[in-house]
Amino acid sequence: MTESLELDSRIEQPDDFYEELIRLHDGLTEEQSRDVNTRLILILSNHIGDKNVLSEAFHLARKGV
């Protein structure tokens, strides 16, 4: 059985999360920020693990750009 991509809100304190995400980039150049984001995607992808979920997420992300 494979899971499907979760689109409901799962983060309990959204404002705390968002602030930490933005803070993560404090003092970085644009290039460094891009590197951090890239590493983050790899780290989170591994945490998710499920290839179907990841494919769905890839598709959704690409669609909006």
Partner 1 sequence: MLRTYQYPEFPYSRSPDQDATLPVHHPVLIVGGGMVGLTMALDLRLKGIPAIVLEQGETVSDGSRSICQAKRTLEIWDRQGAATPMIGKGITWNIGRVRNRDQVLYSFDLLPEEGHKIPAFVNLQQYWVEEYLIDRLTQVGGEIRWQNKVTGITPAKDSVTIEVDTPEGPYALTCDYLIAADGARSQMRRELDLPFKGQVFNDKFLITDIEMKADFPSERWFWFDPEFNPGQSALLHRQADNVWRLDFQVGADADNEEEMKHENVIPRVKAMLGEQTPFELEWISVYTFQCRRLEQFRHGRVFFIGDAAHQVSPFGARGGNGGVQDADNLGWKLDLVLQGKAPDSLLDSYDEERIFASDENILNSTRSTDFLTPKTPVSRSFRDAVLSLAEECVFARPLVNSGRLSMPATLHNSTLNTLDEETFEGLMMPGAPAADAPIRFDGRAGWLLDHLGAGFKGLIFGAQGSVPARLDADGLSIDILTVGETGLQDVKGWITNRYDGQPGTFYLFRPDQHVVGRWRQFDEEKVLSALRRAVGKV
55 binds partner 1 (CB under 8 A): no
Q: For residue 14, what are the contacts with CB-CB under 8 A and spacing of at least 6?
A: none
Please calculate the CA angle 46-47-51 and round it to the nearest 5 degrees.
Answer: 55
**C-beta of residue 55 within 8 angstroms of C-beta of residue 45:** no
10 binds partner 1 (CB under 8 A): yes
20 binds partner 1 (CB under 8 A): no
- Whichever of 21 and 52 has its CB closer to partner 1, that residue is 21
Enumerate binding residues for partner 1 (CB under 8 A): 6-11, 14-15, 17-19, 21-22, 25, 28, 30, 33-34, 37, 60, 64-65
